[in-house]
Amino acid sequence: MPRKSTVDKILAELKEKIKEKRRQEQKRGRPEAVPRDPEVYERIASLFEEGLTVAEVARALGVSERTLYRLKESPEFQQFLKEREEKIKKAKEARYKTDAVYNKELLEKIVSGEAWTREACEQLSHWEPIQNVCKQWITHNRSRQSLKSAIEEMADIYEYMCRVKQKCDPDLWEPSDFLEFANSLIQRGVSTDTVRKYLTRWWAWKPEHRETELKGLHGKWVRRGVRKTEEHVLEISEIKEILASDELTDEEKLYLKLWLTTGAREYERPSTRGVKELGWGGIVGIKVSDINFKNCTLEVREPKTGKGLEPKIWHSIVIDLFFPGLCRELEQYVKEHGRGRDDWLWGSPERGVKLYKSIVRKLRKLTGKPLVAHDIRRTHAYWLVQQDVPLELIAGGVTGERIESPLGVGWEDLMTMVRYYADLAGRAKRMVPTIMAKFHEVFSS
């Protein structure tokens, strides 16, 4: 039997051999460690920012995934990322301040007439703060191009007020100033649609113009010489009586509820836009695929002018905004009529037109008011105004219609415009639950 010292020696040698074998196994085929170099760290961070996975980055660097995981968790790399983030933030702030000063000066030159060019307006549209706001504010229907157009149109009005009326402060603008501006556009041969858009932009944002805007101030410019002097809306009590009566069919009641909720135009016929292949829009142009039954939202489509363009998404609306359970009613209606995802909600746009004409005819009989189809749209806005919803939210965030009121104060302060747009979506989200609770209480009773 060997002595104890000999046994200890043999065991020690075996342990050493085992350790050596393990070291050899670990070294066999193992790539070199990642060098601790800021340039290498920068490359790794850039690769991760591009959306590459750990395996892809490890393969690009020629290291194992395990090595890369260890590197990511190391204090040195974490410190590098922190310093890198601070540098990027400071660089953005410096660029932002430079852009702010440059664009403010450029805007002042535009207003004064020193740099009154479309190119100058285009430069403003590419301003980084505006682009950042666009990412939050624009969903389906607005783009940077449309924001550029809005800036140009605002600049047109401001130029007229400063040069012709000698009023550079928007608080001094009177209704007569706007009408004179509209007449000057018409004399220059500008289309009535464009004139209407100008007036809508600048009348919507002042609180004292709410009632006038609700009645459709710009409607008289659609057809010159023809002006609708009487506009009607439906009170909530009238709608409750109508929905409780047997005059309307269940399908017509569902149609009316959805129409009042969306505030959409009655319809957009393809031929009215001059491009027949665009398809239908408005309340009659809803497809089953436009409805999200999970989130209870609906996207109303509007044809976009331009040859070969598909119908664009106009706005998104919460289906249960006014009437509780409307989303479930729609889902049941789709199942009962066997509508597929790509089918028209009402069977066909032509059938949708017949439905809304029948509804308007019956509403005239029940209420005794000489209603037209657009009065349903006015009712939608009227109900929201009664809840003290600002017009810019009625035109934009709450109901989803395209935002046409750019400012609440003098627009020459471009940062105010940016902050206004950034806050608009948040205000809309905060108000929707309140509106729903109010109307659900009324219509559920």
Per-residue model confidence as pLDDT tens digits over 160-181: 777 788 776 656 767 677 778 7
**80 touches 63 (CB < 8 A):** no
SS3 content of the chain, % helix, strand, coil (to 5): 65, 5, 30
- In one-letter notation, the amino acid at residue 101 is V
- Residue whose pair of structure tokens reads 């001094």 in the numeric block: 172
- Give, as one character, the DSSP assignment of residue 394: I
The per-residue pLDDT for 327 is 93
Q: First vs last Cα of the chain: how many Å apart?
A: 100
What residues form DSSP beta bridges with 301? 313
Query: What CATH number should be reported for the domain whose range is 236-386?
Result: 1.10.443.10
Q: Which of these, 383, 151, 351, 146, lies nearest to 257 by C-alpha position?
A: 383
For the ranges 277-286, 320-329, 390-399, the lowest mean pLDDT is seen at 390-399
Where does the pLDDT of residue 118 fall: very low under 50, low under 70, confident under 90, or very high at 90 and above? very low
**358 touches 284 (CB < 8 A):** no
pTM flag (> 0.85) = no
**404 touches 204 (CB < 8 A):** yes
Cα(328)–Cα(323) distance, integer angstroms: 11
Q: Which carries the bigger pLDDT value, residue 418 or residue 131? A: 418
**43 touches 71 (CB < 8 A):** no
Q: What is the pLDDT of residues 32-80, one digit of tens each?
A: 455 567 777 888 887 877 777 778 888 777 777 777 777 888 888 888 8
Max Cα separation, the chain?
124
The per-residue pLDDT for 231 is 65
Where does the pLDDT of residue 269 fall: very low under 50, low under 70, confident under 90, or very high at 90 and above? low
The per-residue pLDDT for 106 is 52
The per-residue pLDDT for 242 is 92
The per-residue pLDDT for 345 is 92
Q: At what angle do helices 175-187 and 144-163 cross, to 10 degrees?
A: 110
- In angstroms, how far is CA 379 from the centroid of its own chain? 23
The per-residue pLDDT for 275 is 35
Q: Which carries the bigger pLDDT value, residue 362 or residue 411? A: 362
Q: Where are the domains of the chain?
A: 4-83, 99-221, 236-386
DSSP string, 316-350: EEETTSSSTTHHHHHHHHHHHTT--TTSBTTSSHH
Where does the pLDDT of residue 153 fall: very low under 50, low under 70, confident under 90, or very high at 90 and above? low
For the ranges 17-21, 265-269, 350-354, the lowest mean pLDDT is seen at 265-269
Task: Give the β-pairing of 297-302 and 291-292.
Answer: antiparallel
Which range, 76-90, 110-124, 343-357, has the best average confidence (pLDDT)?
Answer: 343-357
Task: Kindly give, in sequence order, each residue whose CB lies less than 8 Å from that of residue 175, ignoring residues fewer than 6 positions away.
Answer: none
Q: Which of these, 325, 252, 322, 334, lies nearest to 291 by C-alpha position?
A: 334
Cα(104)–Cα(96) distance, integer angstroms: 12
